[in-house]
Amino acid sequence: MKQYNGHFIRPADKYAWYLKKPRYIPYMLRELSSLFVGLFSCILVWGLYQHSQGEVAFNAWTQLIWNQLFWLNLLIFVFAFYHSYSWFMVTPKAMPIKFKGKRVSGVTIIGAHMLLWLIASVVVFTLFVIGA
Amino acid sequence: MSNPAKARIVQLEIMRYNPDLDQQPHFQSYDVPCQEEWVLLDAINYIKDELDRSLSYRWSCHMAVCGSCGLMVNGVPMLSCHAFIRDMPDLIKVEPMENFPIIRDLVVEMDGFIEKLAAVKPYIHPKEERNIEDGCHNQSPEQLLDFQSLTQCINCMLCYSACPQVALDHDFIGPAAMALAHRYNLDSRDQGRAVRKDVIASNQAIWECTFVGACSEVCPKHVDPAAAIQQAKIAATGDYFKSFLMPWIKKASKDNEGEQP
Helix (H) or strand (E) segment spanning residue B93? strand B91-95
The angle that helices A70-89 and A24-52 make with each other, rounded to 10 degrees, is 130
**B243 alpha carbon, distance to own chain's centre:** 32
CA–CA min distance B140, chain A (Å): 10
Task: Give the type of residue at A101.
Answer: G
Cβ of residue A94 closer than 8 Å to a chain B Cβ: yes
Question: Positive or negative CA dihedral for A29, A32, A37, A40?
Answer: negative
Cβ of residue A90 closer than 8 Å to a chain B Cβ: yes
Beta bridge partners of B78: B71
Backbone angles phi, psi at B40, to 5 degrees: -60, -35
Q: By three-state DSSP, how is residue B202 classified?
A: coil
Phi-psi region of B232 (alpha: psi -120 to 50; beta: other; left: phi over 0): alpha
pLDDT digits (tens, 9 = 90+) for A67-119: 999 999 999 999 999 999 999 999 999 998 988 888 899 999 999 999 999 99
Per DSSP, the residues of A35-64 read: HHHHHHHHHHHHHHHHHHT-HHHHHHHHHH
CA–CA min distance A105, chain B (Å): 13
Backbone angles phi, psi at A33, to 5 degrees: -60, -25
Q: Can you tell me the distance from the alpha carbon of B116 to that of B173, in angstroms, rounded to the nearest whole number?
A: 6
Q: Can you tell me the distance from the alpha carbon of B247 to that of B251, in angstroms, rounded to the nearest whole number?
A: 7
Place B154 in a pLDDT band, splitting at 50, 70 and 90. Answer: very high
Helix (H) or strand (E) segment spanning residue A129? helix A106-131
Residue B9 sits at the vertex; the CA angle it makes with B6 and B12, to the nearest 5 degrees, is 140
Which CATH number, 3.10.110.10, 1.20.1580.10, 1.20.1300.10, 2.130.10.10, labels domain A1-79? 1.20.1300.10
Cβ of residue B252 closer than 8 Å to a chain A Cβ: no
Q: Which residues contact B229 (CB under 8 A, 6 or more apart)?
A: B175, B178, B179, B182, B206, B209, B211
Question: Positive or negative CA dihedral for B112, B113, B116, B121?
Answer: negative
What are the respective helix, strand and coil percentages of chain B, to the nearest 5?
45, 15, 45
Q: Tell if the CB–CB gap between A23 and B214 is shorter than 8 Å.
A: yes
pLDDT at residue A38 above 90?
yes
Q: Which residues contact B97 (CB under 8 A, 6 or more apart)?
A: B70, B71, B72, B77, B108, B157, B158, B160, B161
Q: Tell if the CB–CB gap between B25 and A10 is shorter than 8 Å.
A: yes
Cβ of residue A2 closer than 8 Å to a chain B Cβ: no
The interface predicted TM-score of the complex, written ipTM, equals 0.85
Residues of A with CB below 8 A from B167's CB? 12, 17
Q: Can you tell me the distance from the alpha carbon of A29 to that of A32, in angstroms, rounded to the nearest whole number?
A: 5
Among B residues 157-216, those touching chain A with beta carbons less than 8 Å apart: 164, 167-168, 170, 210-214, 216
Residues of B with CB below 8 A from A31's CB? 210
Place B260 in a pLDDT band, splitting at 50, 70 and 90. Answer: very low
Q: Tell if the CB–CB gap between A93 and B224 is shorter than 8 Å.
A: yes
Residues of A with CB below 8 A from B141's CB? 101
Give me the total of CB pairs closer than 8 Å, taking one residue from chain A and one from chain B.
Answer: 76
pLDDT digits (tens, 9 = 90+) for B173-232: 999 999 999 999 999 999 999 899 989 988 899 999 999 999 999 999 999 999 999 999
Domain boundaries, chain A: 1-79, 90-132
Q: B91, exposed or middle or buried, with CB in 10 Å at 0-12, 13-18, 19+? A: exposed
Name the percent of chain B lying above pLDDT 90.
79
pLDDT at residue B248 above 80?
no
Number of H helices, E strands in chain B: 10, 7
Place A4 in a pLDDT band, splitting at 50, 70 and 90. Answer: confident
Q: Tell if the CB–CB gap between A23 and B109 is shorter than 8 Å.
A: no
pLDDT digits (tens, 9 = 90+) for B98-119: 999 999 999 999 999 999 999 9
Q: How many Cα atoms are found within 13 Å in the side-chain-facing hemisphere of B218? A: 29
Task: Name which of A28, A83, A88, A93 to mutate to probe chain B: the one with the most chain B Cβ atoms within 10 A of its Cβ.
Answer: A93
Q: Which residues contact B147 (CB under 8 A, 6 or more apart)?
A: B182, B183, B184, B186, B187
Q: Tell if the CB–CB gap between A94 and B145 is shorter than 8 Å.
A: no
Task: Give the type of residue at A119.
Answer: I
Helix (H) or strand (E) segment spanning residue B95? strand B91-95
Domains of chain B from N-terminus onward? 4-108 (3.10.20.30), 111-256 (1.10.1060.10)
pLDDT at residue B160 above 70?
yes
Task: Name which of B110, B211, B223, B233 to mutate to probe chain A: the one with the most chain A Cβ atoms within 10 A of its Cβ.
Answer: B211
Specify the pTM. 0.89
Q: Which value, in Å, is the radius of gyration of the alpha carbons in chain A? A: 22
